[in-house]
Amino acid sequence: MTESASPTSGVQLLEVEPELAGQRIDNFLRTRLKGVPKSLIYRIVRKGEVRVNKGRIKPDYKLKTGDIVRVPPLRLAERDEPVPLAQGLLARLEAAIVYEDKALIVLNKPAGIAVHGGSGLNFGVIEAFRQLRPDTKDLELVHRLDRDTSGLLMIAKKRSMLRHLHEALRTDGIDKRYMALVRGHWATAKKQVRASLQKSNLRSGERMVEVNEDGKDALTLFKVLRRFGEFATLVEAKPITGRTHQIRVHAKHAGHCIAGDVKYGDDAFSLEIRGLGGKRLFLHAYMLTVPLPDGGELKLEAPVDEQWAKTLERLSA
């Protein structure tokens, strides 16, 4: 091999240890395959080149204790250094932290920032925090928010906290509540939407979700917070299940799509909201109640951004 050639790994067989059970396959590989570009990791998983127990798996597969992960030969990067992120972005995310201790970070994620890289994005919140906290080796997202959704996002700093919170999510032990500005007059009596959801991918690769009785059961509880005549309603949404785009699709299914939703929304309604200065998706994770490992409870609220607040002021004028 000449000096200019990039080194190549052989086939690797990786056994999943108990403390890593429950982790997504892509996150597991990013941690284990140092020097391999994230884009390459996502590609080999998507194409089925990574096998678990000799079988193909999907990118969202969650590992189990004792799983054997087969990784094909890979061309390694010569340097294992992340692309430096803009200091302005790092400072903005640092300022967005609403809670931090030795095991957990919770931030009020701004709208428009993805939670992780991939799908053409070089970085997201988790990549930024790995640069902000370089001495914390086990930083992992506890859950996800859509790129255009703002609000409370949890990042575990320790494996033990990640496992604890994943278990709490599985057993409905975490109370997450969102605010959404929706079209029209939401009836006070309409307190829940239960409709099965099914994911599909368009030719462009874009992910869409639709109500389909063959999909997975999904339940969202709704409560009216404020009305703006017959034009719009501010509602609280509490997802009981955690399906992709659940609140957005359930709001549409109820006949009250969310302002600024380019996938599932009403263009005319969103355009009117834009005219008031609301150039964003009006979905915000504003409240979070989390059980802590020591038996205590963490309850947090996150304010909306200035654009959201001013838009609602103009709506009520």
Catalytic residue IDs: 146
Amino acid making up residue 26: D
Rounded to whole angstroms, how far apart are CA atoms 291 and 66?
28
DSSP track, 260-312: T-TTTS-HHHHHHHHHTT--S--EEEEEEEEE-TTS-EEEEE-PPPHHHHHHH
Contacts of 315 (CB under 8 A, 6+ apart): 228, 231, 232, 276
Q: Strand pairing of 150-156 and 283-291?
A: parallel
Contacts of 71 (CB under 8 A, 6+ apart): 9, 11, 12, 13, 14, 29, 33, 44, 50
Query: Residue 177: what are its φ and ψ, rounded to 5°?
Result: -130, 140
Find the angle CA(24)-CA(49)-CA(80) to the nearest 5 degrees.
65
Judge contact between 230 and 185, C-beta under 8 A. Answer: yes
Rounded to whole angstroms, how far apart are CA atoms 105 and 95?
12
